[in-house]
Each structure stands twice: as C-alpha cells, then as structure tokens.
Amino acid sequence: MYCQQCNEVNLEGSTYCSKCGSRMEVKAKPQCPFCGGEVRTTSKFCIHCGSTLPYMEEGARSNSLKSKTIYLKDQFGNLIRKGNYKKVLQDKENPATKAFIDFVAWGIAHFFGFAAFIGAVTVLGFLLGPWGIVLTAALAYVYATHKDEIRRKVEEMKSGSESRLEPPSRRDY
C-alpha cells in the first residue's frame, strides 16, 4: 500500500502512513450483493451464487441513472425468476434492497418535486387568465435554467454563510 501524500510503502491494511502520519484510504474489496462473497470488479456473475453483478466502470459502479435502472432490472429479474425476491426485499440489510429503496425514494422525490412545482405554476396561470400563460412560461423557464443556483443561494442564506444586507435606515421626516 502506498501513501497518497508521500508515496511511502506501508503494510497492507494500514490506516495511517508510517512516514507522514496521514490517513490512508482503505478500499473495500467488492462483494456480491446477495451472498456477500468476494468478487472481481470485472466479473459479470458471482462465482459463489451465480447472481448477476452490478455493472462496473473502471472498478466502480457507475452513478448514472441508466446503469442504476439496468442493474435493478437485472437483479430483481433474477430474483423473480428464482422465486426468492420476497426474502430479499424483507432483508433490510441486503445491499440490493437498500439500492432498490434508495432508487425508488430518489424517483418519487424528483417526480413529486417537479409535479408540485408545475401544479403550483399552473394554478397560478389559471388564476391570472391570459397573462398567466405568459407568466407560467416565464416562471418555468427561470426555474428550469436557474434552479441549482436558486437552491444554492437559499442554502447559503439558511446557513448564514452569505452576508445579509441590512435594511435601509429610516429617515426622520
């Protein structure tokens, strides 16, 4: 094991470097999400139980939505064919169950967040009549193009990291 800071050779499994004392990253070996057996990052199937393994990109699972969808489809397709999907879904510690729950929660949160925004803008549009259509289109465009920036600024204001403007002083009349 090499230290990332000073390139010192350390004993395998070391937590800290023997030369500079910096914390060393210990990479866990990949395991089958169903049986827990050790597998290679390039393997497509588990050598212990035969389950289809998640797709790997350079030794790490891809975070893209497409690969997560394909992985979940393959995993739960295998479970349904084998007839033991109920047992896996009931086991809350199973990595496949955690991945499924995280994926479903992510999808629901994103769908309902967007649907709530569109619903609010649509109601506002109907209330304002013909001008509401223009306002709806403008708000939808602004939200779609600047939502990350708006969220970041709101979080900065909540955390107090951005200096807040003082209200203008009152003039004596």
pLDDT tens digits, one per residue of 121-166: 677 666 767 776 676 777 788 777 777 777 778 777 777 654 455 5
pLDDT at 141: 80
End-to-end Cα distance, the chain: 75
**CB-count burial class (<10 Å; 0-12, 13-18, 19+) for 72:** middle
Which amino acid, residue 70? I
Say how far apart CA 126 and CA 123 lie, in whole Å: 5
pLDDT at 59: 42
Which amino acid, residue 98? K
- CB of 99 within 8 A of CB of 34? no
Q: Which two tokens stand for residue 19?
A: 């030369």
pLDDT at 48: 85
Q: Over the stretch 22-60, which tens digit does the pLDDT of each residue have?
A: 887 766 677 777 777 888 777 778 888 887 776 544 444
**CB-count burial class (<10 Å; 0-12, 13-18, 19+) for 161:** exposed
- CB of 79 within 8 A of CB of 71? no
The DSSP call for residue 165 is P
Average pLDDT over residues 100-120: 70
- What's this model's pTM, rounded to 2 decimal places? 0.24
Say how far apart CA 162 and CA 45 lie, in whole Å: 50
> Domain segments of the chain: what residues?
1-30, 31-90
84: nearest Cα among 72, 95, 75, 93: 75
